[in-house]
Amino acid sequence: MKSYSAHGVENSLSKLSPEKKPANLTPWTAPAVFDDYRDRKPEPSPQAVADLEKQAHSKGYEVGRWEGLQAGHAQIEAQVAELNHLLESFVRPFQRLETKVEEELVLLAGAIAEQLVRREITIDPGLLKVAVEEAASVLASTAQQVRCHLHPEDAALVRAGQGEAVPPGDWQIVDDPRLKRGECQVHSTDQLVDATVRARLDELLRGHFELSAAEGGP
């Protein structure tokens, strides 16, 4: 075995001077083997995991319940709107039918009244005087060439003794077979007064329908 003396070791060490160290050497440091362990969080216990699952389930249930309620509310509103529309479609025809029936009843009442008026005039010719006087009252006081058109039988009554039914002035009784008993039309140079039963009833019915439309309006 080769032996070294103390002097020889010193000579060997003296040869390793700092100027001769390799340039690429870096100091070595120990790795931080305990840092990850200190930062690591402890594993949750089984009870904590169960509690977290319970909370998540409860929260999800509440969210789902609220969304379900909102969706159900919107669906109910849509169904109610559809039902209201359906009810309106059912009611609307009945309203139109009711209006139509009312109009038909009014027209029927007018036709019955027309027959009753004619019958009354046949029984009481004095009513003819009223019709003529009403027609004459519409004419202007300056009316000229006045012609009173009457049913031939009514005209005969006037000529036979009911002349007082005709106002004085430039009047002429004209037989008009187109008119019915009790009807009267008065013509002048610039006016026409229609005092037929139909015209008078039409005027009444027109006033009734206009009043009904006004009452039923917005």
Would residue 29 count as lying in a domain?
no
User: What is the residue range of 186's domain?
Assistant: 125-216
How many Cα atoms occupy the beta-carbon half-sphere of 90 within 13 Å? 6
Would residue 32 count as lying in a domain?
no
Would residue 83 count as lying in a domain?
no
**How high is the pLDDT of residue 11?**
53
**Structure tokens belonging to residue 98:** 């009711």
pLDDT per position as a tens digit, 104-155: 655 555 555 555 555 555 555 566 666 666 666 666 555 567 778 888 888 8
Nearest-angstrom CA–CA distance, 49 and 147: 114
Identity at 115, one-letter amino acid code: Q
User: Considering the entire predicted model, what is its pTM?
Assistant: 0.35
Would residue 39 count as lying in a domain?
no
Would residue 101 count as lying in a domain?
no
Higher model confidence: residue 1 or residue 100?
A: 100
Query: What b-and-e string marks burial along 45-56, b requiring 16 or more CB atoms within 10 Å of the CB?
Result: eeeeeeeeeeee
Would residue 1 count as lying in a domain?
no
Indicate which CATH number applies to the domain containing 195.
3.30.2320.30
Would residue 194 count as lying in a domain?
yes
Q: Residue 171 in 3-state DSSP?
A: strand
Would residue 146 count as lying in a domain?
yes
Q: How many CB atoms lie within 10 A of CB 131?
A: 22
pLDDT per position as a tens digit, 49-70: 677 767 766 666 666 667 666 7
Domain count, the chain: 1
Q: Would you say residue 177 has pLDDT above 80? A: yes
pLDDT band at 9 (very low <50, low <70, confident <90, very high): very low
How many Cα atoms occupy the beta-carbon half-sphere of 211 within 13 Å? 6
Which of 86-100, 159-173, 185-199 shows the highest mean pLDDT? 185-199
